[in-house]
A and B are shown apart, each in its own frame.
Chain A
Amino acid sequence: GDSVTQMEGPVTLSEEAFLTINCTYTATGYPSLFWYVQYPGEGLQLLLKATKADDKGSNKGFEATYRKETTSFHLEKGSVQVSDSAVYFCALRRGGSNYKLTFGKGTLLTVNP
């Protein structure tokens, strides 16, 4: 079945540091890939997405590129801020009759001033 594997957290960085959160997936066909962010006590917000190979999703300084050859969708940001502290989820969605998102377990990011 489909699965998403994210790097284990928690990740702790200083402000202005470079961020990478690794995400790899297993799925048949060509899924769409997503990064969601969850702030404490809140629901999930879409951060960025990519729907086909080599697409780059970007938003708020975050970027991720859909790499079919390595089945990866790593999240990066050049300079993190304290306000980026949250849990980040990688997810995929295949077409067909099952419409669910398959999520990774999430990575907790803490950015210290």
Chain B
Amino acid sequence: DGGITQSPKYLFRKEGQNVTLSCEQNLNHDAMYWYRQDPGQGLRLIYYSQIVNDFQKGDIAEGYSVSREKKESFPLTVTSAQKNPTAFYLCASSRSGSEGETQYFGPGTRLLVL
């Protein structure tokens, strides 16, 4: 089955620690995205990538970093500079960046601070 996988489902971060969230897709999609979801809020875009080896900051990129070395993979690192990292993180992909293209979402990773 084609789809998007995210791991781990739950992740715990200690103060001053960097953690990396995994996102893999086997849909052969060119574009991939990372969103953050806070309780009672809509999703906000952290980073997006239209093609391999290229990515752009979204609305709330500070304290986060990404890489796109392979088409299938778009890992997100939450750095120690992100002072309020507790949230639900959702990865998405779409066939292209066109306006009408559907974005498909993974099951999410919940990040908690110890």
Contacts and interface: CB of A to CB of B under 8 A. Distances in A.
Interface of A: 4, 31-32, 34, 36, 41-46, 49, 51, 89, 91, 93-96, 99-106
Contacts, number: 64
Contact of A99 (B4, B48, B105, B107): B48
A104 B44 CA distance: 10
B99 A44 contact: no
A43 to B, nearest CB: 4
B88 to A, nearest CB: 9
Size band of the interface chain B makes with A: 20 to 34
Q: 6 tightest CB-CB pairs across the interface, nearest first?
A: A103-B42, A95-B99, A43-B105, A100-B45, A51-B100, A99-B97
B42 A106 contact: yes
Nearest to B48: A99
A51 B99 CA distance: 8
Given A32-B100, A43-B106, A93-B99, A99 B31 contact: yes
